[in-house]
Structure 1
Amino acid sequence: MRKIVYLWAILAMSISSFIVSAQTVDEIFAKHQEAMGGADKWSKVKSVVQSTKFTVQGMEIQSKSSILVGKAFRSEIEVMGNKMVQVIEGENGWWIRPQMMGGSGEPEDMPKEMIKVSKNQEAVGSVLLNAKLEGNKIDLVNKEKLDGADVYVVQITKKDGDVGTAYVSASTYLILKFATKVNLGGQVVDTELKFSNYKAIDGLYFPFSMETASPMGGGTMQVDTTSIEINPALDAAIFVKPVKK
């Protein structure tokens, strides 16, 4: 279940640079930003609530994420009547995991490695938009095919050295895939996410379908968004770690 929260991965490849000479990384970013709804609209997003559903090995899973942009993130995942809560606020994090998910059912501090890989969930918008806001390095690596479609391969290097690769559609300029590596208990794991079914909410575009490797092993997992609310009122108390019973 822990892999469900990992949204970062790496795949860096540099070949045939002459192929991408017609577009610069700045031009691609500008078109991507416009395709996502524009910088001005995204700057006005202060909070988001998103609900999703997916099925893993016959289990239907419901998830709800509440985000105070740039400040805090809370997710609630329900599996067979059991709920896992995960909260990131600043540099701190806590979670509640039922026994079936490897926990005690009580509030516990989250491991540092989990906080690191989950902290990006305090942001909204695409990995490219957030990379620009954070001042990370963005490089155009190549132009290639992804599932038969032309994509620009854009590498993002964070200030801490972590690297991720975004595959940007050459026709829509929306991100179709993101790949990176994450450190899971000392083991480096390759992960990738595929995005599709983009829809507009208040003029901002979100991928309503996501595909990734199943955390249970074997095959892929489809995650579908069922609803998104922009700028709902959120009670700060939902991010506060409860006292153990």
Structure 2
Amino acid sequence: MKRNFTHMIAGLLLFSSAIAFGQSTEEILAKHQTAMGSPEKWAALKSAVVKNKFSVQGMDIESKTSMSIGKAFRTEVEVMGNKIITVVDENSGWMIRPAMMGGTGEPEDMPGEQVKLAGTQKNLGSALVQAQKAGATIELVSKEKLDGADAYLFKVSKAGGEESQVYVSASTYYVIKTIAKVQANGQTVDTEVNYSNYKAVDGLYFPFTVEAASPMGGMMQVDTTSVELNVPVDPSLFKKPSK
């Protein structure tokens, strides 16, 4: 009798959970992928060039990222006439920083921790879809209000132990926010990123406005000005030059 009662309670909890969410994890993820564009088109991406602009302490800054999808990326940022270059390939990374930015103006190797942290930038598209492809465990936690609108909250657990929270809009099925813990300079830091202003490029959807923590404190808005897909990207861009 006691066992039957326990089973009944467990069944009621599962039933009430299903009512609360309305949809299963698989259904929401499938709608999210559909909202982002054809999976076949995403799979066919080989390269991209993305240009962004943002402001830091009143300075307008532009950046250009050239990508060999899943393999390497190079980001160039120009600040007050000085160029910062960051490159990460499959196994390593290097950068060039001017003296005013704490560098030497010469190519220098990036620390392994920093290479690992930047590694996700080699891919384009949804962090949730990328996590699925990598075999991460994705769990639907709740349906709640985010900035006054309904959103699904997912917990993403990767094989290496990293965990993050991903919010998906219940109306558009776009990812609208991620929260994760990352290792930086030997410390665990909470990172929060907001995504909005999704636009189509060749039938694939990208957030053209991203808000993230600024190195100077507070939140920084980054606006994408252009996205070019499957354009020629010279492999020599990713090779570390000699001093």
- Say whether 1:109 aligns with 2:117: no
Give the alignment of 1:18-33 within 5 angstroms: 20-33=20-33
Counterpart of 1:141, as a letter, is V
* Native 8 Å contact 2:21 2:142 kept in 1: no
Q: What do the CA deviations read for 1:97-126 (whole angstroms, capped 9, x no partner)?
A: 112221111101100110011001111111
Tell me, in whole angstroms, the C-alpha distance in 2 between the residues paired with 1:69 and 1:111.
22
Query: What is the TM-score normalised by the length of structure 1?
Result: 0.90
Tell me, in whole angstroms, the C-alpha distance in 2 between the residues paired with 1:78 and 1:178.
27
Greater relative contact order: 1 or 2 (C-alpha under 8 angstroms, separation 6 or more)? 1
Which residue in 2 is equivalent to 1:71? 71
Tell me, in whole angstroms, the C-alpha distance in 2 between the residues paired with 1:69 and 1:186.
29
Which residue in 2 is equivalent to 1:243? 242
Q: What do the CA deviations read for 1:129-180 (whole angstroms, capped 9, x no partner)?
A: 1111111111111111110010000111111111111100001000111111
Tell me, in whole angstroms, the C-alpha distance in 1 between the residues paired with 2:107 and 2:189.
27
* Native 8 Å contact 2:21 2:143 kept in 1: no
Uncovered stretches (5+) of structure 1, i.e. residues with no partner:
1-15
- 1:38 CA drift (Å): 2.1
Counterpart of 1:25, as a letter, is T
Residues 91/19 of structure 1: CA separation in 2 closer, same or farther (3 Å cut): farther
Q: What do the CA deviations read for 1:45-66 (whole angstroms, capped 9, x no partner)?
A: 1111100000011111111111
SS in structure 2 at match of 1:104: coil
Q: What do the CA deviations read for 1:21-68 (whole angstroms, capped 9, x no partner)?
A: 421111111000000002111111111110000001111111111111
SS in structure 2 at match of 1:215: coil
Give the alignment of 1:112-127 within 5 angstroms: 112-127=112-127
SS in structure 2 at match of 1:27: helix
Which residue in 1 is equivalent to 2:99? 99
SS in structure 2 at match of 1:160: coil
Tell me, in whole angstroms, the C-alpha distance in 2 between the residues paired with 1:225 and 1:119.
20
State the identity %. 56
* Native 8 Å contact 1:19 1:142 kept in 2: no
Which residue in 1 is equivalent to 2:232? 233
Counterpart of 2:67, as a letter, is I
Tell me, in whole angstroms, the C-alpha distance in 1 between the residues paired with 2:17 and 2:77.
43
Tell me, in whole angstroms, the C-alpha distance in 1 between the residues paired with 2:21 and 2:199.
31
Tell me, in whole angstroms, the C-alpha distance in 1 between the residues paired with 2:77 and 2:106.
15
Which residue in 2 is equivalent to 1:53? 53
Tell me, in whole angstroms, the C-alpha distance in 2 between the residues paired with 1:148 and 1:187.
33
Query: What is the number of equivalent residue pairs in this alignment?
Result: 228
Which residue in 1 is equivalent to 2:7? none
* Native 8 Å contact 2:52 2:225 kept in 1: yes
- Say whether 1:205 aligns with 2:205: yes
Tell me, in whole angstroms, the C-alpha distance in 1 between the residues paired with 2:38 and 2:240.
35
- Say whether 1:177 aligns with 2:167: no
Query: What is the TM-score normalised by the length of structure 2?
Result: 0.91
SS in structure 2 at match of 1:31: helix
Tell me, in whole angstroms, the C-alpha distance in 2 between the residues paired with 1:223 and 1:87.
20
Aligned alpha-carbon RMSD (Å): 1.3
Uncovered stretches (5+) of structure 2, i.e. residues with no partner:
1-15
Residues 44/105 of structure 1: CA separation in 2 closer, same or farther (3 Å cut): same
Counterpart of 1:31, as a letter, is K
SS in structure 2 at match of 1:48: strand
**More helix per residue: 1 or 2?**
2
Which residue in 1 is equivalent to 2:168? 168
- 1:237 CA drift (Å): 0.2
- 1:220 CA drift (Å): 1.6
Which residue in 1 is equivalent to 2:188? 188
* Native 8 Å contact 1:177 1:192 kept in 2: yes
Q: What do the CA deviations read for 1:61-80 (whole angstroms, capped 9, x no partner)?
A: 11111111111111111111
